[in-house]
Amino acid sequence: MSPSKPRRKLVWWVRWLHTYVSLAGFGALIFFSLTGITLNHAEWFEGVESTTERAGTAPTNLLAEAAGPAAGITLMNWLRRAEDLSGHPGEPLADEVEMTISFEGAGYIADVVIDRESGEYSVLETRRGLVAVMNDLHKGRHTSFAWDLLIDISALVLTLSGATGIWLLWFLKKIRLQGLLWAVGGTAILFFAYFAWQ
């Protein structure tokens, strides 16, 4: 086998890997790029949130349970169904008079304040719109373990796409130097921008 054949085989595999990893990460690249812009210009989307207030009464037996080891799981599930709440409930905060439970999700928060004696409660629910949902997804804020894992996988896929792109460039003698200069120049701009606008 001539020395050139293993090299051609390696280039073929790197090109294959770069192509399909890049395609797999295309959606993530577009999503995180666009939401980078919306995060950087959050003021463009101010005033689109909607807030609603309502009230009700929770069963007092659930309030008693919420003070115990179960940490109010049944009460949280009851509130979620009764008030059609979204997001993930936080740990209940309670004193002798009131209990507060916050449900948080991407672009969403609902605070429930409950009178521990009567079971009467108020709900303040805020939905901040589609762009806020996308921004929170970008940051992994108030999201699930599955979404956090997807962010990590997307980061690895996009890193592999970039690394294999540089690797392929190394085999292209005619544009190798020019391509590397562009890559180094782009990276240098990031560092310059960071230190210049501190």
The string of DSSP codes covering 60-92 is HHHHHHHTSTTTTHHHHHHHHHHHT--SEE---
Residue 103 is classified by DSSP as E
pTM: 0.79
Which tens digit of pLDDT belongs to each residue from 25-84? 999 999 999 999 999 998 888 778 899 999 999 987 887 766 554 557 888 889 999 999
Q: Read off the tokens for 39.
A: 């995060």
Non-local (6+) Cβ contacts of 25 within 8 A are 154, 157, 158, 161
| φ/ψ of residue 14, rounded to 5 | -65, -40
Q: What per-residue confidence (pLDDT) applies to 1?
A: 46
- Quick check: 87 and 109 in contact, CB under 8 A? yes
Summarize the confidence of residues 171-198 as an average pLDDT. Answer: 84
Which tens digit of pLDDT belongs to each residue from 122-170? 999 999 999 999 999 999 999 989 999 999 999 999 999 999 998 888 8
Q: What per-residue confidence (pLDDT) applies to 70?
A: 52
Largest CA distance in the chain: 86
Between CA 105 and CA 148 the distance in angstroms is: 13
- Quick check: 168 and 11 in contact, CB under 8 A? yes
> How deeply is 169 buried, as exposed, middle or buried, from its count of CB atoms within 10 A (0-12, 13-18, 19+)?
middle
